Amino acid sequence: MTAPILEIRDLHVSADGLPVLHGVTLSIPTGETHVLFGPNGSGKSSLLATIMGLAPYQITSGEIWLKGRRIDALPVDQRAQMGLGMSFQRPPPLEGVTVEAFTAAIGATALLETEAPALDFGAFAERDVNVGFSGGEIKRWEILKLFLRRPDLCLFDEPESGVDLEHIAAVGKAIDRLLGANTPADPQRTALVITHTGFILDYIHADVGHLMVDGRIAGSADPRILFRHIKAHGYSMPPRDTSVPSSI
Ligand SMILES: Nc1ncnc2c1ncn2[C@@H]1O[C@H](COP(=O)(O)OP(=O)(O)OP(=O)(O)O)[C@@H](O)[C@H]1O
């Protein structure tokens, strides 16, 4: 099996003094796409924010390793420099920073020109990032932003929620292209994707699905089998003999 790019060991986390994660253990091999399912409030966004190093999430015990280096004490910018990137559910507006200026600052102007049309974002270059964007436009920008930065490990927090049916296809295909690139200059990426609707499974090759309940990973399975089971039976694991893909 490929070495894990991300390894989380018995992670306990509090937000503003309130315990939100209660012992998460998770390993993602390089190049795989893992999907996180779970009911509202089970801790999915808190987990992604903690991996990224965002406030107000405080690790009370446990470890996070990225590319073989322990990162749980590193600030967010150092994690980003190590190849970690996240598309947010509710990113802040950046008053005074246009899409064009943001893109130039990360040296991706040429990529913006080629990739923005695929996400129907061509007309947004002169607008301030996330200022007055609709819910779906925010999501499309978040995907485009990752496309421009090309992190090795991409964290997606509900990339399709709030996106209309026509643009879901564009978002799904963009994520698939982002993750699927596989050349020596542009190796295959790894991803952890939160989804409620499962729409994204129609567009990406997902390797493993995890079920999160009450701040813990309750089980892992083939993502499509797990999603079908959740739709039919609620947030529980399918019978054991159908649940564990050979890679885990
Ligand atoms: N900054 C915070 N302060 C206090 N409580 C928080 C904070 N962040 C998260 N929580 C709490 O932690 C729990 C997990 O929240 P989280 O957003 O991680 O859930 P989720 O699984 O992503 O939910 P959803 O599916 O609704 O997006 C919730 O009870 C939430 O209220």
50, part of any domain:
yes
Measured between alpha carbons, how far apart are the two ends of the chain, in Å? 9
Domain extent for 179: 4-88+150-242
Please name the residue whose Cα sits nearest to atom 7 of ligand 1. Answer: 15
Task: For 26-41, write each residue's pLDDT tens digit.
Answer: 999 999 999 999 999 9
Please name the residue whose Cα sits nearest to atom 18 of ligand 1. Answer: 43
Backbone φ, ψ for residue 144 (5° rounding): -60, -40
94, part of any domain:
no
61, part of any domain:
yes
Name all residues whose Cβ lies below 6 A of ligand 1. 15-16, 18, 20, 38, 40-46, 56
79, part of any domain:
yes
What is the number of structural domains in the chain? 1
CATH of the domain at 194: 3.40.50.300
Average pLDDT over residues 120-143: 89
Pocket test for ligand 1, best of 20, 158, 214 (most atoms within 8 A of CB): 20
Ligand 1 atom showing the smallest separation from residue 56 Cα: 1
Average pLDDT over residues 132-154: 90
Residue-level pLDDT at 72: 93
Task: For 169-210, write each residue's pLDDT tens digit.
Answer: 888 988 998 888 656 667 679 999 999 999 999 999 999 999
Ligand 1 atom showing the smallest separation from residue 158 Cα: 27
pLDDT higher than threshold 50 for residue 247: no
Task: For 54-70, write each residue's pLDDT tens digit.
Answer: 999 999 999 999 999 99
Looking at the whole model, is its pTM more than 0.80?
yes
- Separation of alpha carbons 151 and 3, rounded Å: 18
178, part of any domain:
yes
